[in-house]
Chain A
Amino acid sequence: MAEEDVVISLRISSRRSQLPIFISLLVVAATILYPLYFVIITSLRTNADYLQNPFGLPGEWTFENYLRLVDSYGIGQAFLNSLFVGTISVSIVLVLASLAGYALAKLPVPGTKFITATFVSVMLIPGPVLIIPIYLMLARFDLVSTYAGLILVYVATGLPFATFFLTLSFRGIPDEVIEAARIDGAGFFRIMWSIIVPMGSSGLATLAVLQFLGAWNELIFAFILITDDSMRLLTPQLASIGERFLTDQPLVSAGLFITASIPLILLAFASKYIMQGLQVGVSR
């Protein structure tokens, strides 16, 4: 790639001077990785063991903290609830944003400018502004403390970026391909399904990962809108555990790791997509 050529010509610093840079980066990386390592190790020991020797390896490895969280504090249920809400809202966002993105990228939609401006400007609305009116609106429709209400909020807040992002990535699909399919008699949904989705799959995957992370990590609306204990999502559940068990670091650490696990797995396996999404975030 062209990028590689650039890399070589930019490498003005000699091999020798690269070592201090490498070491500096290593130090910075340690400030991120060490706290996570500490959380994971702490979660695998007993509280007594932690208080005695917090920095060494556990005297006795145990999954007791995880089992306690699942058995007594409903973390397992909360995990599944978060998975459910995240999956449903991402699916809805993907469908609606694909339709809108394809139309805005490739079809002569009347008022395109106005519609795009709407999507872009609502992205600037700060979350706190929405709390009160959305709560009152959902209360009016009897949707407080239902997943439907929460999913509605996640879809609405996810859509502006999703539509914007897919409009950009679908623009890259050549008009010729779409035109050829039309000549063969393919209708809107046929083109959507057999051309736009496969050719825009990388953009769709990026968006799916980003939106899922957004829903999984969200705290405010999950806390405010779901009041029923058995329906709680993971982040509010973690917040209440973190508040109640200040004296039991290993238990809290286990909760932290459970909540962080899915995002970490996604980062490990889909970092390519996450980084691609980042680029668009920049150009915005």
Chain B
Amino acid sequence: MTTASLTSSVGAASAAPTGEAHAPRKPGGTRRRDRIVGLLAVLPALIMVVGFMAFPVAFAVFISFTRTNGLTYDWRWFDNYIALLNDPIVHQVFINNLKFLVSVPLVIFTALIVSVLLFERVRGWKYFRVIFFLPNVLSVAVIGIMFRSAFGYYGGVNQALGLFGIEPIQFFTNGTTAIAIIILALVWSGFGYQSLLLLAGLTSINPAVFEAAAIDGAGWWKRLWYITLPNIRRVLGFVFIINVLYTFTSLFGFVFVMTAGGPGFETTTIDYLVYLRAFSSTNLGSGAALAVILFLFIGILTLIQNKVFKLGEED
């Protein structure tokens, strides 16, 4: 490498340590070398991601068109998809997922209240922020088992009810109460992080707007309704979408440790059904087809999100 080509730089003119006049960047030499070095540096990460994330998706699509036990693949076109669409269990599970959507307004409402409270920046708000974030560092296994224990026959909730002379309730033998408890776990573990997302949105509102409103005599509630909420509608929309996505893709852990999908299939979600089909049925193709349907569904939701909220252009 020649020293002449090494001194080439763009945008570093003021800081160039050599006192010489600055030559414009040369196209060959270092630059070509940089391109090769750069590509080599990216390659290991890229290979891992393509090999173990992008390729598996393509593989899943392939599997979904076959009847397979993992060893031999028997091409069956859309048989798995047709079977799924006519499967009453799949219908029930999809409706279960819709029931879990109840958690979305609950989480957002709680997060909104908490973020508005945090926004007032009372003494110690930074500590509160860390406390509210706490459930996010815990495993779904921990949160799920904690709620399962708390609402179990010997759990804290039944013990507390016992103090009032109420007989223990079997929360998990009834689909509706079981779903309600999983939703409670979702709200408990999710509202903190989302209140911080909303807080970031609140912080980006121009303070002058608040001052002007305060001078005009707008009270706290009026400011909340007419200034704060309209100004964070974008973040609200974003939070809404991630919650919906979460309901369809990330309930596996909770369902797995809290109810194992039962009673019957009453708390089984789509992602849990993918797992059930994969490891307790003789046809992996069916599970893969369900996963692909889920993937398409998520993809469409994400596209809608990008179209509607255009997050990239925010701020």
Does B287 make an interface contact (CB < 8 A)? yes
Q: Which residue of A lies closest to B128 (CB)?
A: A25
A12 and B160 CA atoms in complex are apart in Å by 41
| In contact, B63 and A132 (Cβ under 8 angstroms) | yes
Does A72 make an interface contact (CB < 8 A)? no
Given A31-B188, A127-B252, A239-B257: A9 in contact with B41 (beta carbons within 8 A): no
| In contact, A7 and B145 (Cβ under 8 angstroms) | no
| In contact, A220 and B56 (Cβ under 8 angstroms) | no
| Docked complex: A131-171 residues within 8 A CB-CB of B | 131-137, 139, 152-153, 155-157, 159-160, 163
| In contact, B9 and A247 (Cβ under 8 angstroms) | no
Smallest Cβ distance from B152 to chain A, in angstroms?
6
Contacts of B135 in A (CB 8 A): 32
Q: What range describes how many residues of A lie at the interface?
A: 35 or more
- Write out, one digit per residue, whether chain A residues 202-240 have a CB within 8 A of any chain B CB (1) or not (0): 000000000001001111100110000000000110110
A25 and B114 CA atoms in complex are apart in Å by 7
Does A100 make an interface contact (CB < 8 A)? yes
Q: Which residue of B lies closest to A270 (CB)?
A: B137
Determine, out of B30-38, B89-97, B98-106, the stretch whose residues face the partner at the interface: B30-38
| Docked complex: A85-141 residues within 8 A CB-CB of B | 96-97, 99-100, 102-104, 107-110, 115, 118-119, 122, 124-137, 139
Q: Which residue of B lies closest to A54 (CB)?
A: B159
Does A71 make an interface contact (CB < 8 A)? no
| Docked complex: B154-190 residues within 8 A CB-CB of A | 154-156, 159-160, 163, 188
Most buried by A among B48, B118, B150: B48
Contacts of A36 in B (CB 8 A): 134
| In contact, A126 and B249 (Cβ under 8 angstroms) | yes
Smallest Cβ distance from A1 to chain B, in angstroms?
13
Contacts of A139 in B (CB 8 A): 70
Most buried by A among B7, B41, B117: B41
Does A172 make an interface contact (CB < 8 A)? no
Smallest Cβ distance from A57 to chain B, in angstroms?
15
Given A32-B134, A239-B145: A128 in contact with B271 (beta carbons within 8 A): yes
Does B299 make an interface contact (CB < 8 A)? yes
Given A22-B123, A282-B200: A126 in contact with B49 (beta carbons within 8 A): no
Does A83 make an interface contact (CB < 8 A)? no
Candidates A28, A110, A134; contact of B56 at CB < 8 Å:
A134
Contacts of B207 in A (CB 8 A): 6, 9-10
A55 and B257 CA atoms in complex are apart in Å by 25
- Write out, one digit per residue, whether chain A residues 1-25 have a CB within 8 A of any chain B CB (1) or not (0): 0000011011111000110011011
A188 and B279 CA atoms in complex are apart in Å by 46
Smallest Cβ distance from B292 to chain A, in angstroms?
7
| In contact, B133 and A275 (Cβ under 8 angstroms) | yes
- Write out, one digit per residue, whether chain B residues 118-155 have a CB within 8 A of any chain A CB (1) or not (0): 11111111001111111101111110011011101111
Candidates B6, B121, B145, B223; contact of A252 at CB < 8 Å:
B145
Smallest Cβ distance from A65 to chain B, in angstroms?
13
Q: What number of B residues sit within 8 Å (CB to CB) of A?
A: 111
Candidates B118, B154, B288; contact of A51 at CB < 8 Å:
B154
| In contact, A96 and B44 (Cβ under 8 angstroms) | yes
- How many pairs of residues, A versus B, come closer than 8 Å at their CB atoms? 317
| Docked complex: B269-315 residues within 8 A CB-CB of A | 270-271, 274-275, 278-279, 284, 287-288, 291-292, 294-295, 298-299, 302
Given A99-B44, A127-B250, A219-B256: A157 in contact with B53 (beta carbons within 8 A): yes
Q: Which residue of B lies closest to A155 (CB)?
A: B48
| In contact, B288 and A133 (Cβ under 8 angstroms) | yes
Contacts of A107 in B (CB 8 A): 34-35, 37-38, 41
Smallest Cβ distance from A133 to chain B, in angstroms?
4
Given A32-B134, A136-B70: A179 in contact with B38 (beta carbons within 8 A): no
| In contact, A104 and B42 (Cβ under 8 angstroms) | yes
Given A110-B35, A132-B291: A239 in contact with B141 (beta carbons within 8 A): yes
Given A24-B117, A103-B41, A125-B57: A118 in contact with B146 (beta carbons within 8 A): no
A126 and B252 CA atoms in complex are apart in Å by 11
A266 and B130 CA atoms in complex are apart in Å by 12
Q: Which residue of A lies closest to B293 (CB)?
A: A129
Does A199 make an interface contact (CB < 8 A)? no
Identify the 9 closest CB pairs spanning chains A and B, nearest first. A107-B38, A156-B52, A217-B139, A176-B15, A133-B56, A126-B249, A242-B145, A103-B41, A109-B38
Question: Given A13-B220, A131-B275, A185-B6, 18 other A-B contacts at CB below 8 A?
Answer: A10-B119, A21-B117, A28-B114, A28-B128, A35-B146, A55-B156, A55-B159, A55-B160, A96-B45, A107-B38, A118-B46, A122-B54, A127-B249, A129-B57, A176-B12, A213-B137, A256-B146, A259-B139
- 15 residue pairs of the A-B complex, CB under 8 angstroms, read A12-B210, A33-B131, A54-B156, A103-B41, A108-B38, A118-B54, A124-B299, A126-B271, A128-B291, A176-B12, A223-B256, A243-B257, A256-B146, A259-B142, A275-B129
